[in-house]
Structure 1
Amino acid sequence: MLQNSGRIVAVALSIVALIATAGCSTQGVHAKTAAATSHWPVDPIVQLRDKSHDFYTDATPVLHRRGTGTKTFTLKSVPAGTTQITYYVSCSPSSHYQVTMGKNFDGPCANVVQNSGGIPLASTGEVKVKIKLPAKTSFYIVGIPDSN
């Protein structure tokens, strides 16, 4: 009887181990895709939503995207009364970025947001925002509307 209990326990542990590793398989996933998802910096929204952080805000972003290299985004809806949009950028590997929305600002970026920059809003229609980074640099950009 004790011998059968040992077999049952061994079978049960084998099943648990099989189930635990079933979701870990990368079979059928391209290596490039698996590697690409591991190089993203920390999303700035993490710091923006942390009440203990200097960047804290509960405002709804008008832009919250990620990408690689230079990209242009269109802001289709900016809240009434917005006078400028403050941008927060994180990137990997560390680099130097430029954000343009009519006017521009630039600065260093790293895995977590270290600074921000506001650009005055020139129009209330569709607004184009361009972030310029080296081709293989991954980034997150978050734009928070400000009104004075």
Structure 2
Amino acid sequence: MTGLFKPCCIALSVLLLLGCSEGYPGEDAPLISPFDMGNEQRLLALNEIGADAHPERRWRFELMHGCRLEVGHKRGNSRQLKQVFELRRGMDVDVAFDEPDQTFDVHLLASAAADAPRLGTLLESEAWTDAVQADLLLQLLIRDCGVGTSAPAG
């Protein structure tokens, strides 16, 4: 019985593996580095992160004329809370763990100095990976703000 069992299992495994490829695209969509993105693409990526970063809050980002970053977040069914930041070169972004909330918070800093004041919270996430990805996207957004067009994205 074990002699027949092995070839049968192997044949069944091959058929199952071949069937698993059905429904998947032949090519994966290419990943784009945040360094190669434009600010509109970075905003789209930030909004994807912001939608899923925290189970109780949805974060939304919009870049307006003049490098004005509008950051909104909504908790449950409450009204949208918005902050507007005038982005300029020299600002920095920081990720810090918020012990009471158990979240990784992304803050906008006035400068890259060690004692730079926090200007506001841009994102709260339960996942460190979301926070550091948002950190990079925001740093590049600040770096490239005002280069090319600064029309509203979205």
Q: What TM-score does the superposition give when structure 1 sets the normalisation length? A: 0.31
Which structure has more relative contact order (CA 8 Å, sep 6+)? It is 1
Higher helix share: 2
Q: What TM-score does the superposition give when structure 2 sets the normalisation length? A: 0.31
